[in-house]
Structure 1
Amino acid sequence: MAMERRAVEARTIFIGLAGSHGYGLNRPDSDYDYRGVFIAPKRYYLGFDQIEQKDTGWHEPGILPFLDNNQDTVIYELRKIINLLAGANPNVLELLWLENYPVLTAVGQHLISHRQIFLSKKVKHTYAGYAFAQIKKMETHRKWLLNPPSKKPVPADFGIEDEEPLSKDELNAFLEYLYILIRGKIEFLEESEQLYKLLTADIDFKGMLKQYALPDEALAYTQNFTHSRKDFIRLLKKSQNYQIALREWKAYLSWQENRNPARAEMERKSGFDLKHGMHCIRLLRSGLEILQRGEIIVDRRIAGDIEDLQAIREGEYSYEQVMSMADDLVKQMDVFYEQSNLPHRPDLELINNLCMELVEMQGWE
């Protein structure tokens, strides 16, 4: 059961101005990205109803006029954001270190006052991971700029001639089955506890299975492991490659159609997506700062690199220079990861106690 806007806003404990305004990188036409936290009422904790966030319905009657019709607004339910914070999600961690909170209650201040307990050495992996996601987008767009695909892929391009390729649903169903089999094999082995955690919590193993085709050397093992027919495994590999190519073709068409004209022109001149390059460097620098200082500096005017980031966005650095900067920052993160005084992982019991405190402070309806 979805919560109405007014009900969410009534139980909101803070809303911060995030995105480009939070980083100090906003332009006159930049959107206002509002991110906040609310605590759901009793029925969502003790009953059947569930809610993780409110990200639509801002045209509804509300309490906070500055959110009216703002589609770039997300207000997370407390338990959802606590989970993301414990996982060192960069986009969520920074919400506790913003400079501008249009809404901040005593309960919200209590959460922000305890923000330090969410910082751990995991930030090296999450911030670098988010930065590499920006690099992957840059590389994809660069490939499209320099060597655009000429036609829509067809099954025959992948050796699928006299049979239908496996559909996306069929592929996903098999890969889900493979994931469950692997997880089940190691779930109760004590010596595999770290591997189990790796596959179920630390990395999106299921997502990786669905994003990348199974390598040739894994096909025979997968066939034996799943007791599949050899011809099915052969078709699986071809269908994965076909579906990946089809997904990229659709992404290419969407990219062409929806690009901001000014951003597209800058991308054409520089040979890469400047905004992704800027955010890649921002993320790596932020991750490095956390390891060095044990705090997050969201506003890059305070961090002191605002002009440098703007220079990347304006095309004053080449693709090779941005990649070299990223490589240097990753090496520095490796060094400071070893030196950092942060714990290797957050104290989940402490975080759980904080979550209960916040719910009790807010009270039930």
Structure 2
Amino acid sequence: MKRIEVESRAIFIGLAGSHGYGLSRPESDYDYRGVFIAPKEYYLGFSNIEQKDSGWDKEPGMFPFLDGNQDTVIYELRKIINLLSGANPNVLELLWLNQYPYLTEVGKKLISNRKLFLSKKVKHTYSGYAFAQIKKMESHRKWLLNPPQSKPIPADFGIENEEPLAKEEVNAFLEYLYLLIRGRIEFLEESEQLYKLLTADIDFKGVLKQYTLPDETLAYSQEMTFGRKDFIRLLQKSQSYQNASREWNAYQAWQQNRNPARAEMERKSGFDLKHGMHCIRLLRSGLEILRSGNIIVDRRDAGDAEDLRAIIRGEYSYEKVTKMADDLVEEMDKVYQESTLPNRPDLEQINNLCIELVEMQGWV
């Protein structure tokens, strides 16, 4: 859909990112996030759209504050309802922003029902997103302290006289392995929760593709897939080679795209300060939700804006930040048990809300 069409059907647009968190600096970009409801053909026909995340610098629109902005995403209602129901931290906060440059009655209706989306699942999603920040910190710290010296080659992984398996070959086999494992549990007695965990709550295919198969699983994988031993071994070597190549490419991209000022702060502190700050922010936010059933997006309102700024300024060591994260995770485990939030959101109520919002907006 064109920008003008999306904006004409928007129900709200909010100011998110560092400005929403109350942590902006003079050079900070403006991050706008919003929701729109697609027209009739996208609901009843074959057309599909989940979000609009480009075109604000090239297409005409209704809202001048979006002109030329590179950090704008406007989600279609069903996409964001799905993300909200899954307690996605990046979208949950959009219903608790302090500033909405554009807000309709339909948007107000969605925001007024925001607590429908809160559940104990926030413990897992907020800590999961925080863990992703920690992984980035660890990767960047490793690159800072011990940068890779050369591009990996197949011989580094014992692949001498044969071609490594192509990415498509590796992924096809891992997909097959995933289907076999899923098939083994699908019809087991009392397997519903395990099946859901494997197929929905965990991106098992992503895990398989990211981590090489450990030695102790090779024989079982060979037996289960009727694979030849040389294929399984080559699979492991090829996967290791691909992972190393992916890390090398990520390192090169990181080197080329780093903000110079941020790179200098990283060099002095030995870790990525922005990832460290977001890790702590996410864990504190998750704790607040479990305790109060409310989200405080603006950290000035939460009272820890200056503390988070101190992390960005490099006033806390890597060890201090990781210790803070460990303590928050431990505290979250305790608060989770005491939280009065439901274990999961009421999907029937959420579905009815979605229908009501679409009907309020109308097809015209």
TM-score normalised by L of structure 1: 0.98
* Aligned residue number for residue 313 of structure 1: 312
* Aligned residue number for residue 204 of structure 2: 205
* Aligned residue number for residue 97 of structure 1: 96
* Aligned residue number for residue 297 of structure 1: 296
Deviation at 1:31, TM superposition (A): 0.6
Residue deviations 1:107-133 (CA, integer Å, cap 9, x gap): 111110111010011101100010011
- 1:141-220 aligned at under 5 Å gives the runs 141-220=140-219
| Identity across matched positions, percent | 80
* Aligned residue number for residue 251 of structure 1: 250
Structure 2 counterpart of 1:284, one-letter code: L
Structure 1 counterpart of 2:3, one-letter code: R
Runs of at least 4 residues off by over 4 Å: none
Structure 2 counterpart of 1:51, one-letter code: I
* Aligned residue number for residue 123 of structure 1: 122
Structure 1 counterpart of 2:180, one-letter code: L
Distance in 1 between residues matched to 2:138 and 2:327, nearest whole Å: 18
**SS of the residue 2:199 aligns to:** helix
* Aligned residue number for residue 273 of structure 2: 274
* Aligned residue number for residue 34 of structure 1: 32
- Paired residue for 1:7, among 5, 8, 19? 5
Deviation at 1:298, TM superposition (A): 0.3
TM-score normalised by L of structure 2: 0.98
Structure 1 counterpart of 2:182, one-letter code: R
* Aligned residue number for residue 349 of structure 1: 348
Structure 2 counterpart of 1:102, one-letter code: P
**SS of the residue 2:191 aligns to:** helix
Distance in 1 between residues matched to 2:225 and 2:41, nearest whole Å: 42
Residue deviations 1:27-82 (CA, integer Å, cap 9, x gap): 11111100000011110111011000000111201111111111100000011101
Distance in 1 between residues matched to 2:78 and 2:236, nearest whole Å: 39
- Paired residue for 1:49, among 47, 50, 74? 47
Deviation at 1:190, TM superposition (A): 4.6
* Aligned residue number for residue 230 of structure 1: 229
**SS of the residue 1:36 aligns to:** strand
Deviation at 1:285, TM superposition (A): 0.3
Distance in 2 between residues matched to 1:129 and 1:319, nearest whole Å: 19
Distance in 2 between residues matched to 1:188 and 1:298, nearest whole Å: 43
Residue deviations 1:82-115 (CA, integer Å, cap 9, x gap): 1100111000100000000011111111110111
The CA RMSD measured in Å over matched residues stands at: 0.9
- 1:68-87 aligned at under 5 Å gives the runs 68-87=67-86
Number of aligned residues: 363
* Aligned residue number for residue 22 of structure 2: 24
**SS of the residue 1:191 aligns to:** coil
Deviation at 1:181, TM superposition (A): 2.2
Distance in 2 between residues matched to 1:360 and 1:192, nearest whole Å: 39
- Which consecutive residues of structure 1, in runs of 5 or more, have no partner in the other structure? none
Structure 2 counterpart of 1:93, one-letter code: L
